Chains A and B, each alone.
Chain A
Amino acid sequence: MTMLPKPQAGAKRLGLVVDLDTCVGCHACAVNCKEWNTGGQAGTLPDYDKYGPNPDGVWFNRIHSYETEADGCSRTVNVPRSCMHCEDALCVTVCPTGASYKRAEDGIVLIDTDICIGCKLCSWACPYGAREFDEEAGVMRKCTLCVDRIYDEKLPPNEREPACVATCPSRARHFGDLADPQSKVSRLVAERGGVDLLAELGFRPTNKYLPPRRATIPTEPPKATSSGGLGAALLNLLDKVLSR
Chain B
Amino acid sequence: MRPNASVLLLTVSTGFGYGLLAWLGVDSALRLLPAAHMRTLVATGVALSLIFVSIGLVASGFHLGRKERAWRAFSQWRSSWLSREAVASVMTYPIAIAFGIMVWRHGDGVWARVVGAAALAGSIGTVYCTAMIYASLKPIRQWHNSHTVPDYLVFAAFSGALLFAVLRTALIGRPGAFASTAAIAAAALALVAKSAYWRHIDSQKPLATLAAAIGLPKGTEARPLDAPHFTENFVLREMGFAIARRHAAKLRLLVLAIGFVSPLAFSGLAGLGLAPMPTTTLALVSAALGLLMERWLFFAEATHVSALYYGRSI
Q: Determine if B5 is an interface residue (Cβ-Cβ < 8 Å).
A: no
Interface size of B by CB at 8 A reads: 59
Q: Determine if A185 is an interface residue (Cβ-Cβ < 8 Å).
A: no
Cα distance A57–B226 when bound, in Å? 18
- In the complex, how many angstroms separate the beta carbon of B266 from the nearest chain A beta carbon? 36
**Interface pair A138/B72, CB less than 8 Å apart:** no
**Interface pair B234/A133, CB less than 8 Å apart:** yes
Q: Which of B78, B80, B224, B235 contacts A66 (CB 8 A)?
A: B224
- In the complex, how many angstroms separate the beta carbon of B39 from the nearest chain A beta carbon? 38
Residues of chain B with a CB closer than 8 A to A202's CB: 138
Cα distance A182–B127 when bound, in Å? 50
Q: Determine if B200 is an interface residue (Cβ-Cβ < 8 Å).
A: no
- In the complex, how many angstroms separate the beta carbon of B82 from the nearest chain A beta carbon? 4
**Interface pair A56/B231, CB less than 8 Å apart:** yes
Q: Determine if A125 is an interface residue (Cβ-Cβ < 8 Å).
A: yes
Residues of chain B with a CB closer than 8 A to A151's CB: none
With A20-B215, A66-B214, A197-B215 known as contacts, the answer to whether A98 contacts B75 (CB < 8 A) is yes
**Interface pair B216/A96, CB less than 8 Å apart:** no
With A97-B75, A139-B65 known as contacts, the answer to whether A2 contacts B80 (CB < 8 A) is yes
Which of A8-16, A112-120, A160-168, A232-240 interfaces with chain B?
A112-120
Residue of A nearest to B214 (CB): A79
With A96-B75, A118-B64 known as contacts, the answer to whether A127 contacts B138 (CB < 8 A) is yes
The 8 A CB mask of B48-70 against A (1 = contact, 0 = none) is 00000000000000011111011
Residues of chain B with a CB closer than 8 A to A201's CB: 138-139, 207-208, 305
Q: Determine if B238 is an interface residue (Cβ-Cβ < 8 Å).
A: yes
Interface residues of B in 65-106 (CB under 8 A from A): 65-67, 69-70, 72-76, 78-83, 86
**Interface pair B234/A198, CB less than 8 Å apart:** no
Residue of B nearest to A129 (CB): B306
Cα distance A133–B214 when bound, in Å? 23
Q: Determine if A25 is an interface residue (Cβ-Cβ < 8 Å).
A: yes
Q: Determine if A126 is an interface residue (Cβ-Cβ < 8 Å).
A: yes
Residue of B nearest to A124 (CB): B137
Interface residues of B in 206-225 (CB under 8 A from A): 207-208, 210-217, 220-225
- In the complex, how many angstroms separate the beta carbon of A102 from the nearest chain B beta carbon? 11
Q: Which of A55, A65, A77, A123 contacts B231 (CB 8 A)?
A: A55
Q: Determine if B298 is an interface residue (Cβ-Cβ < 8 Å).
A: no
- In the complex, how many angstroms separate the beta carbon of B36 from the nearest chain A beta carbon? 45
Residues of chain A with a CB closer than 8 A to B69's CB: 97, 115-117
Q: Determine if A94 is an interface residue (Cβ-Cβ < 8 Å).
A: yes
The 8 A CB mask of A95-118 against B (1 = contact, 0 = none) is 111110000000000000001111
Interface size of A by CB at 8 A reads: 69
**Interface pair B221/A68, CB less than 8 Å apart:** yes
**Interface pair B228/A64, CB less than 8 Å apart:** yes
Residues of chain A with a CB closer than 8 A to B225's CB: 65-67, 76
Interface residues of A in 145-163 (CB under 8 A from B): none
With A54-B231, A94-B82 known as contacts, the answer to whether A197 contacts B238 (CB < 8 A) is no
Q: Determine if B140 is an interface residue (Cβ-Cβ < 8 Å).
A: yes
**Interface pair A70/B63, CB less than 8 Å apart:** no
Q: Determine if B232 is an interface residue (Cβ-Cβ < 8 Å).
A: yes
**Interface pair B222/A197, CB less than 8 Å apart:** no
**Interface pair A199/B212, CB less than 8 Å apart:** yes
- In the complex, how many angstroms separate the beta carbon of A51 from the nearest chain B beta carbon? 13
Q: Determine if A121 is an interface residue (Cβ-Cβ < 8 Å).
A: yes
Q: Which residues of B contact A (CB under 8 A)?
A: 1, 63-67, 69-70, 72-76, 78-83, 86, 133, 136-140, 207-208, 210-217, 220-229, 231-235, 238-239, 304-307, 309-310
Q: Which residues of A contact B (CB under 8 A)?
A: 1-4, 20, 25, 27, 30, 54-59, 62-70, 76-77, 79, 81, 90, 92-99, 115-121, 123-129, 132-135, 137-140, 195-203, 209, 211
Subset of 16 A-B contacts with CB under 8 Å: A64-B227, A65-B224, A68-B211, A77-B214, A81-B228, A93-B80, A94-B79, A94-B136, A96-B82, A96-B83, A117-B65, A123-B238, A124-B140, A125-B138, A129-B235, A135-B65
Apart from A90-B138, A117-B65, A138-B65, 5 more pairs, CB < 8 Å: A67-B222, A79-B214, A118-B65, A132-B235, A134-B65
